[in-house]
Structure formats: structure tokens, C-alpha cells
A and B are shown apart, each in its own frame.
Chain A
Amino acid sequence: MALSGIQIYKMLPQTNCKECGFPTCLAFSMKLAAKQVELDDCPYVTEESKEQLAESSAPPIRLVTLAGPDRETAAGNEVVLFRHEKKFFNRPGVFVRVVDTEDTAAITEKVAAASAYTVDYVGIDLNLDGIAVEGASGDPAAFAAAVGAAREATGLPFMLVSDDPAVMEAGWKAVEGEKPLLMGANSSNWEAMVDLAKQAEAPLGVVGETLEELAELTQKIQEAGVEDMVLQPAPTAMGASLAMQTQIRRLALKNFRPLGYPTVAFASDSGDPAKEATLAAHAICKYAGFVVVDSFAPEFVYPILVLRENIYTDPQKPIQVLPAVYEINDPKPSDPVLVTTNFSITYFSVANEVEGSGLPAWLVVTDAEGMSVLTAWAAGKFDAEVIAKAVKEFGVGDKVEKKVIVLPGHTAVLSGELEEELPGWDVKVGPREAVDLPGYLKTVLA
């Protein structure tokens, strides 16, 4: 539980020496409870108090990190129920599942493809985060072989899935020294799983049908010495899982420690890529820390990764590119100048079209605080003055001799004013949509 100012006060020296900048220890305690100052501002806190205070100021949802040889992925540290309240911090790790009853070649092939997958979305490389190896055979040797085969094909973190401690042991030994998620402990096997997690120094997945079952398990497991846990609420049907995921998030944010862990959602069990995609979307929107999918195909993974990127974008800070003049396809002084804003989606929809056309152009990106063309225009952040200022600041006039400048079609109204702001320039109005730019460059500007 978070401590009150009074509770914190009791752990301070109570000398009112004022070195923290506050007149009394009590005043400082109040600020600390409100998280407005740092504990380190008081030079006289004892080590013991520091420890107690650190525990009570721990994030409501524990940050759990999984690591493979090449990459790490973390979940947790979330502080809100709705992204507009602040933001969501750690993108849920998307794991692709393989099963130890598949043959080794199939496992290697799927893992290699998933691991190599990368797709560019507005200048961001989107990737998958890990591999879940499921032990369906019940045979420790088969599981170890599958884990080994997967490891040969990737450096991504693993999630090892089995409720049989013997199988799990064989699995983690195949990747000893890494930090896989051991998935998982339940009411009947938890003691053996705790031993494994301690030996492996790896986080432990905890499976439960109800909140009570989960909370009891995490407490027992924590007392037995494992701190890093991931919860798997057992219901997978969307209505029931939404309820449980929401309740876990709400309780965790109220500092109910037994449920203060990230969660994992298995979309992989539906056996149908269509269903899996909607389950994954559901999990991403509503609070999962990890999502496991069985399908791997670009047309399936790409939209899921884009949704995750969108939901986890900081609502206060649109994704943006640096205002500058960008050179596309090696432009020469005789080539045209295009103008747009620094909202990433806007920039890339224009830049990609021009690049794809093979035709050279100078692209002036103004500082529109990350807003789209029309939004920026409506907000008064994209007008003739702003454009002219950017053209001058970036020294565009020195780079070109032909001085043709093209406005986005949606802001045709700016052309008159821009002519006044940029004497000597030929101001043109381009098409409204970026897709029509290649045609425009070929015909109108040729």
C-alpha cells in the first residue's frame, strides 16, 4: 500500500533540520507522499527506512523482463486504466507459439521466419518480441529438443509453456543462463515450479481461474522467494477475460500487491487466424502485458503490431519527424520543392509516394507540432508565414534554382499569401492526396 504522509514522517529523523528545503520533516513527508519530491533530498534517512519506503513506492504493476541471447522484452509499470489519463508504457510483447509435437524442421522454419520479420511503419521498425514453446507432448526430452531447435533459429526471448515440472526443467536447461518466462505455476504444481524459477532465476507465469486463486498463489510464491511473476487469467472468452483483466488492472492500481503483475493472454488456442487476430486486438487494447499468437503471416502480424503501436503512443506527443528539408531521390537544383508537416503519418505518406515514383524532389517539413496538414492548418500551425520561415531557415533558396514550391492540395487557400511571403517563387497547388503525387510530378511538373 502507498504510505500516507504521517506514516512516512514516522520513518524520518524528525529533527526539522531544513536541509531538504522544507521547514519541517512533516512538510517533507507530505510532499513525498504526493510523489512531488525525491527521498534522496533528505540526507539523513536511515537505510532501513529507505528500504521500507522504496517498497511502498514501488510501481503498482511490477516490471517483468524476459531475455534471450539477443533481445529483451519487458511488461508492467503501467499506471492508468485509460491511455488518455497519461499513457500506456510497455508495449505488450507479441510471442509466436510453436509446439513440441511439431517436427523440428517445421519449428525451426516458423521460428526463423517470425524472428526475422520486421516491417516499417512510419519510420518505426516493428518486430515480434519472442517465441512461446509449448510442451504438448508431455515428454521432457521432446520439449528440450523443441526448445533447442527454436533457439537455433532465433535470439529472441522465450516463454516455456508446460504445467509439468519435469518437462519445464528439461526445457529451461536447454536455454540455461537466459531469462525465459516459465509458464506456468498453478495450485497443484507451484512448489516445484518455484524451485525451478529460483534455480533458473527466471520469472514465473501463474495460472488461475479466479482472482482469488491467482492472488493466493502469488503470495505463496512470493513468500517462497520468487518476485517476478506474470499472471494468466484462465478464461480466454473475450467477455470473461475482459472482466478479469480489468479487475486485475483496477486492483493493481489500487496497490493491491498480490495482483500487481503484468498479464499474459493466449490468443493462440483458438486455432483460427481470424479469431486469433481479434483476440490479440482485444488483449492489446485491454491490458495484456504479453500476447501469444499461433499464426505467423505478415498480413496477420502487421496489423496487430500497428494496433499495438497506436494504442501505446503517448497521447500528448504525436509521433513526429524532425522538421528539415529532406532530399528524396537525389534532387538537383532544377527539381521541385514540396511542403508538408512533421506528423509522421503525413510525412511518410508523402515521402513514400515520392520515393516510389522514382522522381527527385526536395521535401520541406515544417514544425507543426506533429499535426497533420489539415489539423495544423485549422490550429494555425501551418500557414504561409510558417512555410516561408521554414524555407528560409533551411536555406532552401540556396539549394534550388528553379524555385517551384508545391502546397498540399487541401491547403490551396494558402497559395496567395505564400506568393507574397516568398517573392520570386512559383507557388503551385498539388493534389489533395499523396497517392496522386507521382502522377502529378510526372505530368504537371515534368
Chain B
Amino acid sequence: MSIEIPVDKWPGTVNTVTLGATEADGGTRAKVVTIGGEQSLPFMHFETEMPHSPVIALEMTPSRTDDWSQILLDAWGDVVEDPARWAAAIEAAGADVIVVTFGLTDPAGDPITPDYAVSTVKAVLEASGLPLVVLGPGQADVDNELIVPVADSTKGERLVLGLCEDGNYRTIVASAMANDHLVVGRTPMDVNLAKQLNILMTDMGLPLDRIVMDPTTGGLGYGIEYGYSVMERLRLAALQGDAMTQLPMLVTPGYEAWRTKEAKVGEGVPETWGDWADRGVHWETLTAVSLVEAGADVVVLRHPESLKRVREAIDELMTAAPA
């Protein structure tokens, strides 16, 4: 019997975006990372070749580890006190990208200053050859105050700056344009809101190959299904040819998973939850793998062991041949 395998031919293509720049291209990165370019749903190798594998970022939050699970702190040890050593450890753990997320205060508990942000980013750039994503604390005025000087002092590195949100994107987009950087825009789990923000940002003149989008996701057990379906819908819209959805997607399963009670807390929880450390890593890994199936191009994780597991899954998904 011969079976005609149904093959989807899509008119649209996801934009190709390169994070980071080597010396030849005006930066200092040892490696750059290229994502996007899909012409089919994730890993449908029998339709079109998937040009770039999804990549894995590890996140560091200089000055803000007080809300990190003890399991994470144990995994990283004392490098979390020193951004440069933390960055080197992230590279050694095998990440493709480093995400630096600033909080509202510095390690001494004082309001974070632009100088602190700039010197931290420089230390990270020095300590590692990986491309960087740099995010503010998520409060419009502070974000702008920190991200602008970071952008100015790292011109040409093709950092990914954020978070650009509906109410706060102009300043960050402008400084990215002025300094050859990229941006990431975040919208709350909604196809139309994502499109709208992408329209606003490109209207300012930022080319589409310098934007990635974060459609927001929930952790396993805490709304992952909404994030999962919005990503599938965004990717379908992109393949159908809607230009304002043709952006590679970056999501933060590490942050979402590790703030759930299951991953964060070890005491006073039901026995049926089992071993805490293992549970936390499973929680993060399963959140991430599901989002990769839904079309994530970058997953931002926190635990080095999760990175290994998600890497193995991605590598297998990228292989068409049966084992």
C-alpha cells in the first residue's frame, strides 16, 4: 500500500535573527546564535528542513537571587555572588545564550544604578563569549534608566534588550536602533496584542530581523496551556503569511517553573509531590520541552541540569532519522 503523506506547504517564513556580533561584525562575541527561518511547524523535517535549531539560554539575576529557589542556589554555588564568574559558569554549562535580568536593587540593597548595570554587563561580556540578552526589572522608568546606558556602552554587540511592553517600548527600541542592538517584546498571551506591539516597534523603524517576541507563558500547572496554545497560534499565523507574527519566539520556562510552589518550596508540601530537587528540575524541563514543541526558538532556563535534558530533547527533535 502506498500512502500519500499530507504535507503542508506554507506561504510564510519566520524571520531569521542573529543574536550577538563577532569582532568582524563590530562586536566582541566568540560565537553568535542564529534562530528562526522556519517554513513549517516545529520539526516537520519531512516538509522543509528546519534551518536553525531552537537554542537554550541560561538566566542570571545579578543582585536578585533572594527569590531564587534554594535548589537553584545549591546548583550554582557561590558564583551567583559574582556576575563574571556566574557568566563563565553558564558558558561552561553549555548554554547558547546568557540572559542577564536586573532587579530593583543592587547586592547591598540600594536602588540599582545605571553604573552598576553597565559595569555588570561589561563584566559579563568580558567573562564569556556568548551572545547576551539584557532585561530590566520590568518597571518602565527603571528599565529605561538602566537599559539606555547599557545599550550606549556596548554599541555593535547585537545584545537583545528588553523587556519592551505595550506601555514601554519607545526608549528601548530607540536605543537599540542607535547602537545596533536587538529587542525582545513581551505581551500577555494574546495573538493580537503580540501583533500590535510588533507593529508599534517596527513603525519606529526597527527592522524585523532585530526583534524577537515573548508571548508570555505560564509554568507547568499554572497556565502553561494558555502559553502553549498562543505560541501554536502565533506560529500558524506566521506560516500563513502574517508578517507581524513572523518573529522568532523567546519564552521563559525557567522563571515560570521556578516560581511555582512545586519547584520553589521543599517543606510543608504533600508527600505525593516526591523529592524536591528532582521535582524542581522535572518541572522546569517539562515546561520547556512542551514549549519547544509549541514553537519556541529560545527557551530561557535556570538550572544547569535542565539545560542538559532540554538540549538532549532538542537534539533528538532536530534529527529526522529513526533511532
* B226 nearest CB across to chain A (Å): 8
User: Among A219, A240, A254, which residue has its beta carbon within 8 angstroms of that of B320?
Assistant: A240
A211 at the interface (CB under 8 A from B): yes
Whether the Cβ atoms of B268 and A303 lie closer than 8 Å is no
Chain B contacts for A356, CB-based, 8 A: 268
B68 at the interface (CB under 8 A from A): no
Chain B contacts for A256, CB-based, 8 A: 3
Chain B contacts for A211, CB-based, 8 A: 3, 5
Whether the Cβ atoms of B45 and A237 lie closer than 8 Å is no
Choose, from B81-89, B161-169, B241-249, B308-316, the stretch at the interface: B308-316
Which residues from 88 to 136 on chain B have a C-beta closer than 8 Å to any C-beta of chain A?
Answer: none
Q: Mark A283-323, 1 if CB is under 8 A from B, else 0.
A: 00110000000000111111110110011010100000000
Choose, from B29-37, B145-153, B204-212, B271-279, the stretch at the interface: B271-279
Choose, from B18-26, B54-62, B176-184, B284-292, the stretch at the interface: B284-292
User: Among A83, A121, A258, which residue has its beta carbon within 8 angstroms of that of B225?
Assistant: A83
In the complex, which range does the number of interface residues on chain A fall in? 35 or more
A139, B274: Cα distance in complex, Å: 36
A301, B278: Cα distance in complex, Å: 11
* B196 nearest CB across to chain A (Å): 16
Whether the Cβ atoms of A303 and B229 lie closer than 8 Å is no
Chain B residue at minimal CB-CB distance from A117: B272
A176, B307: Cα distance in complex, Å: 47
* B261 nearest CB across to chain A (Å): 7
Whether the Cβ atoms of A302 and B45 lie closer than 8 Å is no
B258 at the interface (CB under 8 A from A): no
User: Among A216, A235, A242, A303, which residue has its beta carbon within 8 angstroms of that of B286?
Assistant: A303
Which residues from 160 to 201 on chain B have a C-beta closer than 8 Å to any C-beta of chain A?
Answer: none
* B276 nearest CB across to chain A (Å): 8
A119, B279: Cα distance in complex, Å: 14
Total A-B pairs, Cβ < 8 A: 165
Chain B residue at minimal CB-CB distance from A253: B6
Q: Mark B223-258, 1 if CB is under 8 A from A, else 0.
A: 111001100110010000000000000000000000
Whether the Cβ atoms of A303 and B220 lie closer than 8 Å is yes
Chain A contacts for B2, CB-based, 8 A: 212
Chain A contacts for B321, CB-based, 8 A: 237, 239-240
User: Among B221, B261, B262, which residue has its beta carbon within 8 angstroms of that of A435?
Assistant: B261
User: Among A118, A237, A281, which residue has its beta carbon within 8 angstroms of that of B289?
Assistant: A281
Whether the Cβ atoms of A243 and B316 lie closer than 8 Å is no
Q: Mark A369-380, 1 if CB is under 8 A from B, else 0.
A: 000100000000
Chain B residue at minimal CB-CB distance from A298: B274
* B286 nearest CB across to chain A (Å): 5
Chain A contacts for B313, CB-based, 8 A: 238, 278, 282
User: Among B46, B276, B286, which residue has its beta carbon within 8 angstroms of that of A278?
Assistant: B286
Whether the Cβ atoms of B44 and A246 lie closer than 8 Å is yes
A2 at the interface (CB under 8 A from B): no
| Residue from the set B3, B45, B271, B312 with the largest chain A CB neighbour count within 10 Å | B3
User: Among B6, B43, B229, B289, which residue has its beta carbon within 8 angstroms of that of A83?
Assistant: B229
Whether the Cβ atoms of B320 and A310 lie closer than 8 Å is no
| Residue from the set A254, A282, A345, A356 with the largest chain B CB neighbour count within 10 Å | A282
Chain B residue at minimal CB-CB distance from A273: B278
User: Among B261, B286, B318, which residue has its beta carbon within 8 angstroms of that of A304?
Assistant: B286
Chain A contacts for B271, CB-based, 8 A: 298
B77 at the interface (CB under 8 A from A): no
Whether the Cβ atoms of A243 and B44 lie closer than 8 Å is yes
Q: Mark B53-79, 1 if CB is under 8 A from A, else 0.
A: 000000000000000000000000000
* A435 nearest CB across to chain B (Å): 7
| Residue from the set A234, A238, A297 with the largest chain B CB neighbour count within 10 Å | A238
User: Among A84, A219, A235, which residue has its beta carbon within 8 angstroms of that of B233?
Assistant: A84
User: Among B221, B228, B310, B323, which residue has its beta carbon within 8 angstroms of that of A121?
Assistant: B221
Whether the Cβ atoms of B273 and A302 lie closer than 8 Å is yes
* B257 nearest CB across to chain A (Å): 9
Which residues from 396 to 446 on chain A have a C-beta closer than 8 Å to any C-beta of chain B?
Answer: 435
Chain B residue at minimal CB-CB distance from A122: B221
Chain B residue at minimal CB-CB distance from A256: B3
* B254 nearest CB across to chain A (Å): 15
Chain B residue at minimal CB-CB distance from A239: B319
Whether the Cβ atoms of B6 and A215 lie closer than 8 Å is no
* A427 nearest CB across to chain B (Å): 27
Chain A contacts for B272, CB-based, 8 A: 117-120, 298, 302
Chain B contacts for A246, CB-based, 8 A: 44
Whether the Cβ atoms of A297 and B274 lie closer than 8 Å is yes
Chain A residue at minimal CB-CB distance from B281: A274
User: Among B232, B274, B275, B316, which residue has its beta carbon within 8 angstroms of that of A237?
Assistant: B316
* B81 nearest CB across to chain A (Å): 25
Chain B contacts for A31, CB-based, 8 A: none
Chain B residue at minimal CB-CB distance from A286: B293
* B310 nearest CB across to chain A (Å): 8
Whether the Cβ atoms of A303 and B225 lie closer than 8 Å is no
* A45 nearest CB across to chain B (Å): 33
A334 at the interface (CB under 8 A from B): no
Assuming the contacts A277-B285, A285-B293, asked whether A251 and B3 have C-beta atoms less than 8 A apart, the reply is yes
A372, B221: Cα distance in complex, Å: 14
A82 at the interface (CB under 8 A from B): yes
Q: Mark A244-279, 1 if CB is under 8 A from B, else 0.
A: 001100110010101000000000000000110110
Chain B contacts for A104, CB-based, 8 A: none
Chain A residue at minimal CB-CB distance from B191: A84
Q: List 21 A-B contacts (CB under 8 A).
A: A83-B225, A211-B5, A237-B323, A242-B293, A243-B44, A274-B285, A278-B309, A278-B313, A298-B275, A299-B279, A300-B274, A300-B278, A301-B274, A302-B274, A304-B286, A307-B220, A307-B286, A310-B224, A310-B228, A345-B223, A349-B261
Enumerate chain A interface residues (CB-CB to B < 8 A): 82-84, 117-122, 209, 211-212, 215-216, 219, 234-240, 242-243, 246-247, 250-251, 254, 256, 258, 274-275, 277-278, 281-282, 285-286, 297-304, 306-307, 310-311, 313, 315, 345, 349, 356, 372, 435
Known: A211-B5, A306-B221. 7 other contacts (CB 8 A): A212-B2, A251-B5, A278-B312, A306-B220, A307-B224, A310-B228, A315-B229
Q: Which 10 A/B pairs are nearest by Cβ-Cβ distance? A: A299-B274, A298-B274, A235-B322, A237-B323, A299-B279, A238-B316, A240-B322, A119-B272, A84-B229, A310-B225
Enumerate chain B interface residues (CB-CB to A < 8 A): 1-3, 5-6, 43-46, 220-225, 228-229, 232-233, 236, 261-262, 265, 268, 270-276, 278-279, 281-283, 285-286, 289-290, 293-294, 305, 309-310, 312-313, 316-323
